[in-house]
Structure 1
């Protein structure tokens, strides 16, 4: 019973203890729950704190707005930039409450679109409402703000400051625009202004200036300075450069940057500080504008009303601007040089024919209005070629420059001296009274100036000139007509002995018209094929055999009959038709000689005269080869006759061409020997087979002892050089007897036969 009781007591005590434990456990649980709740609340608060701290440390704008655009929450950057210190001051306000309505309208519209469509906007670029003293740009993204049920209750926005990027983009675009302006040859003043405005937009408070170095390299001239005071620009215009002339004058002098932090205290400015003091500029940073070759072209400078030196960014912009300015200046200088070269003679600097043609029409039009005269003179230096050949091309060039300078000294700015080419000039005098005496007096003054003594290559000499003069309107109505008539008058001046002036007259006009008519006739003759060849036999006195023939050109004129070479060749040389005519003669002579051979006549050599113009053609040798190939004539039956004067124009080139012709197998002869001016030293190097003694030495034999002596000397010289010799123009038995006795066995002339047609020559051969 007792045990049971004891037992029951133990059970009763256990129950009591169990209740206490439960209570303790419940208390402990409550304490644990409280601690867990405290810890959870603490962690939540910590997360909120850290989230808020993190957001407030972000420099970007982060904010949320309700459906009416009222701020619900914003980070510190948004609060501060809107002019508040605590977020509570911003909450509840809209952008309309904070900024001008016209500025925020676009932003509000974008937010309404996000709310209405539920679609976010990312990367929208917009101008900042608050500029902080400089233009600011933001990149903004806006997304819908939704509650737990997914209903849109506002927007969340994030904006990042992209001002530096936009600034760099604008600078790159500005540089591209400036390079495009250079490529399009924009006037320098416009380019400089655009360049300075670009730099000033990039550096608020800074003022740009460009000064250009004068042609004498000693002064600075205003190029552009849109932001500087006009009075200051006028004061510095023309400032001489030097080692102590402010920032720009010194930079141009040194050829290196000069950055002055304080104008009023820097020694470089002490002599010119009074120029700048009234305008309040305190610092000036100048960079020389350099050419590609390192030559100073000017300066680019930045001014500031504050004391200080440029930052790294400003320094870089100064260098960039100076470099672009240098490119633009050099581009313009290059274009000006090209334009000058296109319209001026490189040797004398005088206008050329292109510029003359563009100006003379204007001068004539003005004369029609005013009733005044225009005088035009064609001028040619006498014996210039002799000076050029004897004293060298350098001396000839110097003579042309001296003559050009003397002419320029005698005319007004409204007049024009033109170098046509070689030693020929055109003088254009405008605004003259209708008096030929005034015209000739003015031009005689020029002629006298040219003829004044001069020293050339250490030698004292005088040079005269021949001048042909025409006056508008009496001597022509157009520039072409006036030039042609002046040219005719000049040739008349040469015909009467050079060193004189000839005024165009009616007789010259008639000659000019006749000359032009002959030119046209000759062109028609070439087109219609009105030329024929006659052949004059060449005979050996020992055998009496005809061994060769010279082909001689004739013009079968439809009205005047047969025209001799004496009337054809000068005309052909003047017109340039000598080349096609010469080609025809070469081909026809080869064809005819082959035709005679095919007809069974004894093979002979046919000689063809070659003009200087033909001989200088680049493909002359190949033309000869083609003529032989097309006709089928062997080269040994063709002889080309060259004159001494032709060969001596360029001895080296002539000998080279002669060797090429010799390599073809063609024979070469020197025609009219003794009338040119070849030297014996040159003669021995010519690859020629024959010398032809000119008829002028033969025709007075035996009556002229001098001609006999000269002819005998030529024969003896040819024999010693082992060159064959033939005498031209032989007409009498006495001449034949003298030539035979002197050792000349070959003759050509009326003694043998006159030049005859191909059929008559064939009969003569038969």
Structure 2
């Protein structure tokens, strides 16, 4: 850029006279016009004597002219004539600037001349923008003096205009470059910088349009940084294009790391795979320069497109080089700032936000929660026995453990939440945008605790690490970050006092509730570990045959102290804490093994029905776990039915349908449990690969006395039949209910009227007696 500007200055300096030269030229021109006036007498018309002026002034490269008091040209040298698009002086004499230029420009010229004539004072080096007929932009430095007759009266003006277009272009470049450097210094966005740069280059080189493409993080693709002058469709087409040895100008320049100037896109081999892509847009040449960092790394490309074939001139090459260099500085500056900002606000080991970033964001999170009447949960977490691991396996293993724990925690939270490393093995978890209830907080944090506690291998050793967690909620346990942190820290130490590997909630009232829930959770978790569960089975009867064709497996907790615990007492807690996944897996495997055992004992084969929780159904490997249960038990898939609730399916219908089809492909039967309570639409229902609908007991219990229930039940039966599904009613307890169902076409029932849920041996007796 410096060399180009120096050359411009030299070239311009050779053409431009100094102010003293201009004054002397104007004085000589004024004397010459006055002498002609004296020789021809006061009556003579100076314009008729143009031969005298042409002889003396046509060799001068600047424009020299004289005008009368009305602004009409009296004479003009050859440069002036040509500049205004004529071939001889006779064509311009008598015309005004209003005849030659746009009105705004002509008025500006006229106002200056009127001022010179009225004041009698010359005006030197006025910069004027002259747009001539051929449409090119021209800048002139004009000086004007009064034209006086022999008597000294002002009769017009004499002017000299120098072409300073090139000088103005250089000045514009200098100012533009200064503005760009200022933008880099002020750290404006790259988009703003790119648009400013391209605007500068495109205004300097008329007819070309530019683009900045950024290299993707993996170094394989070019992404549009800015290209305001390019056709948007073309920009979209090349966005994300992979670089390579034969990928047009930009893709090849990025690949080679060197300039690629293509003179004709339509014939150059580098473009042959993209000719038809670019042809509709009319671009014929493309000159691309790699954008580099300070250490030579390719960051992207800067390119100019032209509608005309050809290679860039020396001036254009220098401008492309300058633009690529400035772009590299801007990109490198932003990357450096991003790295510095990240390092200042994140933990170097784990990449998690640090306490500084937490302090910046937590106040805003609390304020947003206050306005929206929401909760913010904050947990202070400390890994249990981390020092022992660090000391026994070394700091390298300890660092790896911290990185693994950080990744596991991040996998459990949303983007709006925050995991912060405070130092050592201590972390802060910030959960935002929560409804004002504590039933959501504990399950989320228990998910994190469970994820942290999953087995892992470090330095060839299999490990399992637990954590102690203290939890507070805004605004219940504090209104400032300092209060919340202090209370969470206190709760965390309480968790450690209670034996570690647990979660404690601050505040006496909540702590009591939380303690009880955690106690029950730990008790339930121990029950899972010890397999303290049993299955009871409620038979399902076909009214036509009068035989048992299936049985629903129902979970019971065989508590060592309290005896049989009904599912209503522990299933909600299992759902809330995620233990339902492990419990559900146990129930599925137990049911499959029991059904196979009945068959192996010679009993008539029946279908065993197993309830599926929403948490189970959403597990990524759920289908494969079902397949494993069948394979390990030896049970044929046709003898297993999975009961899904309407509400479960409607949470994510497309995903649910995909999972259901995958289960159907295994040969498993599917049923919708509690039908009529989940608000599924008919359009969704017909997409479900379901064999059976179960009428919820809430519709059966008041039959035949409630007319609404009778109507609903009858409608469900008709709907199932229309969709080609079987229908079974649960909760049948009376003869009247059975008769109504039979009369309305429901041939399968389940309920106390036939049998209560019974242990495995009890169902075996019922089947045998059937």
Which TM class, normalised by the smaller chain length? 0.5 to 0.7
Identify the residue that residue 528 of structure 1 maps to in structure 2. Answer: none
1:325-404 matched pairs, under 5 angstroms: 325-367=327-369, 373-404=375-406
Separation in 2, partners of 1:104, 1:431: 65
Contact 1:485 1:509 in 2 (8 A): no
Separation in 2, partners of 1:93, 1:367: 75
What RMSD in Å do the two structures reach over aligned CA positions? Answer: 2.8
Contact 1:123 1:141 in 2 (8 A): yes
Per-residue displacement from partner, 1:673-694 (whole Å, max 9, x unpaired)? Answer: xxxxxxxxxxxxxxxxxxxxxx
Identify the residue that residue 194 of structure 1 maps to in structure 2. Answer: 196
After superposition, the Cα gap between the structure-2 partners of 1:121 and 1:245, relative to the gap in structure 1 and judged at 3 Å, is same
Q: CA shift at 1:282, angstroms?
A: 0.8
SS of the aligned residue for 2:58 comes to helix
Separation in 1, partners of 2:404, 2:133: 68
Alignment pair present for 1:86 and 2:85: no
Structure 1, unpaired ranges of 5+: 1-47, 511-766
After superposition, the Cα gap between the structure-2 partners of 1:391 and 1:97, relative to the gap in structure 1 and judged at 3 Å, is same
Separation in 2, partners of 1:53, 1:407: 92
Alignment pair present for 1:448 and 2:450: yes
Per-residue displacement from partner, 1:647-673 (whole Å, max 9, x unpaired)? Answer: xxxxxxxxxxxxxxxxxxxxxxxxxxx
Identify the residue that residue 224 of structure 1 maps to in structure 2. Answer: 226
Contact 1:350 1:417 in 2 (8 A): yes
After superposition, the Cα gap between the structure-2 partners of 1:328 and 1:131, relative to the gap in structure 1 and judged at 3 Å, is farther
Contact 2:54 2:78 in 1 (8 A): no
After superposition, the Cα gap between the structure-2 partners of 1:64 and 1:435, relative to the gap in structure 1 and judged at 3 Å, is closer
Instruction: Tell me the TM-score normalised to structure 1 length.
Output: 0.56
Identify the residue that residue 114 of structure 1 maps to in structure 2. Answer: 116
Q: CA shift at 1:164, angstroms?
A: 0.1
Contact 1:489 1:508 in 2 (8 A): no
Alignment pair present for 1:99 and 2:81: no
Identify the residue that residue 217 of structure 2 maps to in structure 1. Answer: 215
Separation in 2, partners of 1:492, 1:362: 29
* More displaced stretch, 310-319 vs 154-163: 154-163
Alignment pair present for 1:506 and 2:505: no
Separation in 1, partners of 2:186, 2:208: 28
Alignment pair present for 1:416 and 2:418: yes
Q: CA shift at 1:314, angstroms?
A: 0.8
Alignment pair present for 1:159 and 2:161: yes
Q: CA shift at 1:475, angstroms?
A: 3.8
Contact 2:262 2:287 in 1 (8 A): yes
Q: CA shift at 1:322, angstroms?
A: 1.3
SS of the aligned residue for 1:292 comes to coil
SS of the aligned residue for 2:251 comes to helix
Separation in 2, partners of 1:86, 1:217: 62
* More displaced stretch, 314-323 vs 132-141: 132-141
After superposition, the Cα gap between the structure-2 partners of 1:120 and 1:374, relative to the gap in structure 1 and judged at 3 Å, is closer
Alignment pair present for 1:134 and 2:136: yes
Q: CA shift at 1:287, angstroms?
A: 1.3
Separation in 2, partners of 1:110, 1:210: 44
Specify which of 172, 175, 182 is matched with residue 174 of structure 2. Answer: 172
Separation in 1, partners of 2:467, 2:445: 11
Per-residue displacement from partner, 1:199-253 (whole Å, max 9, x unpaired)? Answer: 1110111111112222222222222111111111121222222221111112222
Separation in 2, partners of 1:503, 1:69: 91
Identify the residue that residue 285 of structure 1 maps to in structure 2. Answer: 287
How many aligned positions are there?
463
Identify the residue that residue 124 of structure 1 maps to in structure 2. Answer: 126
Contact 1:376 1:486 in 2 (8 A): yes
SS of the aligned residue for 2:352 comes to coil
Contact 1:134 1:204 in 2 (8 A): no
Identify the residue that residue 300 of structure 1 maps to in structure 2. Answer: 302
Separation in 2, partners of 1:247, 1:461: 54
Separation in 2, partners of 1:96, 1:437: 82
Q: CA shift at 1:150, angstroms?
A: 4.8
Q: CA shift at 1:410, angstroms?
A: 2.2
Larger Rg: 1
Per-residue displacement from partner, 1:11-68 (whole Å, max 9, x unpaired)? Answer: xxxxxxxxxxxxxxxxxxxxxxxxxxxxxxxxxxxxx999845632332112223344
Q: CA shift at 1:406, angstroms?
A: 1.5
Contact 1:488 1:508 in 2 (8 A): no
Contact 2:53 2:77 in 1 (8 A): no
Separation in 2, partners of 1:433, 1:146: 90
Separation in 1, partners of 2:141, 2:508: 88
Q: CA shift at 1:483, angstroms?
A: 2.0
After superposition, the Cα gap between the structure-2 partners of 1:313 and 1:373, relative to the gap in structure 1 and judged at 3 Å, is same
Q: CA shift at 1:465, angstroms?
A: 2.1
After superposition, the Cα gap between the structure-2 partners of 1:53 and 1:444, relative to the gap in structure 1 and judged at 3 Å, is same
Identify the residue that residue 270 of structure 2 maps to in structure 1. Answer: 268
Contact 2:354 2:421 in 1 (8 A): yes
Alignment pair present for 1:487 and 2:452: no
After superposition, the Cα gap between the structure-2 partners of 1:52 and 1:507, relative to the gap in structure 1 and judged at 3 Å, is closer
Q: CA shift at 1:146, angstroms?
A: 4.0
SS of the aligned residue for 2:320 comes to helix
Structure 2, unpaired ranges of 5+: 1-49, 513-770
Contact 2:64 2:80 in 1 (8 A): yes
Per-residue displacement from partner, 1:172-208 (whole Å, max 9, x unpaired)? Answer: 1111111112222222212211111111110111111
Identify the residue that residue 467 of structure 1 maps to in structure 2. Answer: 469
After superposition, the Cα gap between the structure-2 partners of 1:507 and 1:488, relative to the gap in structure 1 and judged at 3 Å, is farther
Q: CA shift at 1:419, angstroms?
A: 0.6
Separation in 2, partners of 1:507, 1:438: 17
Specify which of 59, 72, 75 is matched with residue 74 of structure 2. Answer: 72
1:301-700 matched pairs, under 5 angstroms: 301-367=303-369, 373-432=375-434, 438-506=440-508
SS of the aligned residue for 2:230 comes to coil
* More displaced stretch, 333-342 vs 281-290: 333-342
After superposition, the Cα gap between the structure-2 partners of 1:302 and 1:54, relative to the gap in structure 1 and judged at 3 Å, is farther
SS of the aligned residue for 2:261 comes to strand
